Amino acid sequence: MTATRPAPALRASKTSKMSELTIDVLVEDEAWTALVSDAASLVAQVLSHAAEAEAVCGVVTVLLADDAAVQGLNARFRGQDKPTNVLSFPGPDLGAGAAGAVFWGDIALASGVLAREAEAGAKPASAHLAHLVLHGFLHLLGYDHETEAQAAAMETLETKLLAEMGYPDPY
């Protein structure tokens, strides 16, 4: 879904440029600090690895927010008034932008939903964050899971990329 990027109130920001992907990680909810040690660096590492594997470059922004903020985005842009684990907002133009840079879009993650899902699945929050940010990025690149074939392809790629980074199969 193409949407106008929301303007979050920033508490912390980390910008990384790795493998020709510029990654802006905005930490809006302090709970992320307790959930995942240096969550912004983990996000940047996962996205950098995925960008290299998919041979893409450009810009992506990740918002690490609380459940209420993600619920607001979910209600506004998807018509679902509930928090969800990850939302992807593709950039307005997947063609080359100024100087050839592609703005892939925004990814928003909810700290409380991620924590509850990680606990319910008996997995480390860091592994679940790695999976969800990768999942969100693959949506920005055009992957989907609307059909069984699409889901199988996306899940296979997620599992492969996560394994390359030392994370277990999320499925």
Alpha-carbon gap, residue 116 to 39, rounded angstroms: 17
Number of domains observed in the structure of the chain: 1
Query: Is 148 within a domain?
Result: yes
Query: Is 2 within a domain?
Result: no
Q: Report which DSSP code applies to 94.
A: -
Which CATH number covers residue 48? Answer: 3.40.390.30
Three-state secondary-structure class, residue 88: strand
Query: Is 25 within a domain?
Result: yes
* pLDDT above 70: percentage of residues in the chain: 84
Query: Is 64 within a domain?
Result: yes
More confident residue, 15 or 24: 24
Domain that holds residue 129: 12-164
What are residue 21's DSSP bridge partners?
Answer: 18, 58
pLDDT at 160: 98
Q: What is the reported pTM?
A: 0.86
pLDDT at 11: 34
pLDDT at 18: 43
Q: What is the pLDDT of residues 84-131, one digit of tens each?
A: 999 999 998 645 545 556 899 999 999 999 999 999 999 999 999 999
Provide the token pair at 130.
């790695």
